[in-house]
Chain A
Amino acid sequence: MIIAEPKPIKEILEMTKDFHKILVVGCKGCVTVCNVGGSKEVGILASTLRIAAKRDGRDLEVGEHTLERQCDPEYVDELEDIVTPYDAVISIACGVGPQFLSERYPAKRIFPGVNTKFMGGAVEHGVWAERCAGCGTCVVHYFGGLCPIARCSKSLLNGPCGGSAGGKCEIAKDVDCVWDMIVRKLMQEGRLDDLLQFRPAKDWTTARDGGPRRMIREELVK
C-alpha cells in the first residue's frame, strides 16, 4: 500500500494560519491502514488544530470528514455540499488526494496534511518498509523475489557495490543491503547462476524517468 507520514504540526499550522474555517478530510484507503490518514487521524488533527487556536486565542472552526477514497471522482464529489462553508481543506490522503480535491474544488485552498513516502508493506505492527518503486517493468523474479530498484540505495541491477558490509548498506546501520539478501537467497535455492544470465539493459522509460504515466485498460473504457 501507499505509505505516508504526518506532516509536522508546525508546518500545517503555518500553511493554514490565514484560514478560519478548515475542513480536514481523510481517506479510508491505504492511509487508514498505515494509521496516518483515517477517521481517527482526522479527529486527532482537528483536535490539535483547535487546541492550537485556543492556545493563541484565535477563532477557528474545524470540520471533519472521511471519504471512502480520494482517488475516485464519485467519492470526491461527495464533498460538494460538505466543503461549502470552509475556506481551506487539509487532505490527509496520499498525494493523489490533494490533487483530485484541488481539481474538483478550485475555489478552496487545498493543503496536503501528510508526506507520501513510498509503496511498501508492514514488516511488523507499526513498522512499514519500502518495497516497490513503481518502475513499470517488474523483474523481481530475476532477483529471488527481491527488488533492488526499491531496496538498493543506488538501485543497482548488477550486484552489490563496495559499500555492502556485514549485510548492511553503507548509508545507515539499520538498512539491509538487498544485494546481500539476493545473493544469499539464490544461494539457498541453488540458483546463484541465475545472476550470471545476461539480460538487456533496463527500460527506464516505463518508470518515472519516462514522464508522467497513464494506464489505459481498453476492455474497460467505454
Chain B
Amino acid sequence: MEKNYDPKIVAFCCSNCASSAAEVAHRMEKILPENVKLVQVPCTGRVEILHLLKPFENGIDGVYVAGCQEDSCQYISGIAKARKRVEHAKKILSELDIEPERIDVFSFSAARGQDFVDMARDMVERLKTLGPLPKKINP
C-alpha cells in the first residue's frame, strides 16, 4: 500500500436520477473529490463492458456507474442492464487477479442526494486501501 497515492476514478453518471442527486448534493454544498471525474451519459444502459475496462489500460484505478434506482429508471431497464455489465466486468477483473471492487454500480435518487458525493468519497477511500493496480512479481 503506497501512502502518497491519489487514486484516479471515473464515474459514468446518468442524466436523470444521478443528475438530480447531484443537484441536491450541490444544494447541500457538498463538493466532489477532485480525483473523481464524471462522464455524463443519457442512461447508464449506454455504458458497455469495454467502457468499464478501458480506463484500467490507461492509468485509472477505479470506475463506477451512477444511475437511477431500479423502480424509477426513466428508461425502465437501463440501470438493470448496467448492473449486469458491471458484474461481468468484475468477473473479468477477478480472473486477472485484480480486485473486482475497483468497479462498482450505485443507484441514486434525489431523495438521498447526499449519497452522491458520499459515494464518491467512499470510492476514493476504497481505492486508497486497494492501492494502485498491482504489479505481479514475475515467476
- A contacts, CB < 8 Å to B: 8-10, 40, 43-44, 47-48, 50-52, 54-58
* B: number of interface residues (CB 8 Å): 18
| A50 and B133 alpha carbons, distance in the complex (Å) | 13
Choose among A40, A56, A57 the residue with the greatest number of B CB atoms under 10 Å from its CB. Answer: A56
Q: Which residues of B contact A (CB under 8 A)?
A: 48-50, 53-54, 56-57, 92-93, 95-98, 133-136, 138
Taking CB atoms, residues of chain B closer than 8 Å to A43 are 50
Residues of A within 8 A of B136 (CB): 55-57
* Minimum CB–CB distance for B93 against chain A, Å: 8
A residues near B95, Cβ cutoff 8 Å = 8-10
Query: Max chain B CB contacts within 10 Å: which of A44, A52, A58?
Result: A44
**Is the CB–CB distance between A55 and B49 below 8 Å?**
no
Q: List 27 A-B contacts (CB under 8 A).
A: A9-B92, A9-B96, A40-B48, A40-B49, A43-B50, A44-B49, A44-B50, A47-B50, A47-B53, A47-B54, A48-B53, A48-B92, A48-B96, A50-B57, A51-B53, A51-B57, A51-B96, A51-B98, A51-B133, A52-B96, A55-B97, A55-B134, A55-B136, A56-B135, A56-B138, A57-B138, A58-B138
B101 CB to closest chain A CB (Å) equals 15
Listed from nearest, the 3 A-B pairs whose CB atoms lie closest are A9-B95, A47-B53, A50-B57
Report A-chain residues with C-beta under 8 Å of the C-beta of B49: 40, 44
Q: How far is the CA of A9 from the CA of B98 in the complex (A)?
A: 12
**Contacting A55 at CB < 8 Å: which of B50, B53, B54, B98?**
B98
Chain A hits for B54, CB < 8 A: 47
A83 to chain B, nearest CB (A): 22
Q: Find chain B residues with CB under 8 A from A55 CB.
A: 96-98, 133-136
Contacts of B134 in A (CB 8 A): 55
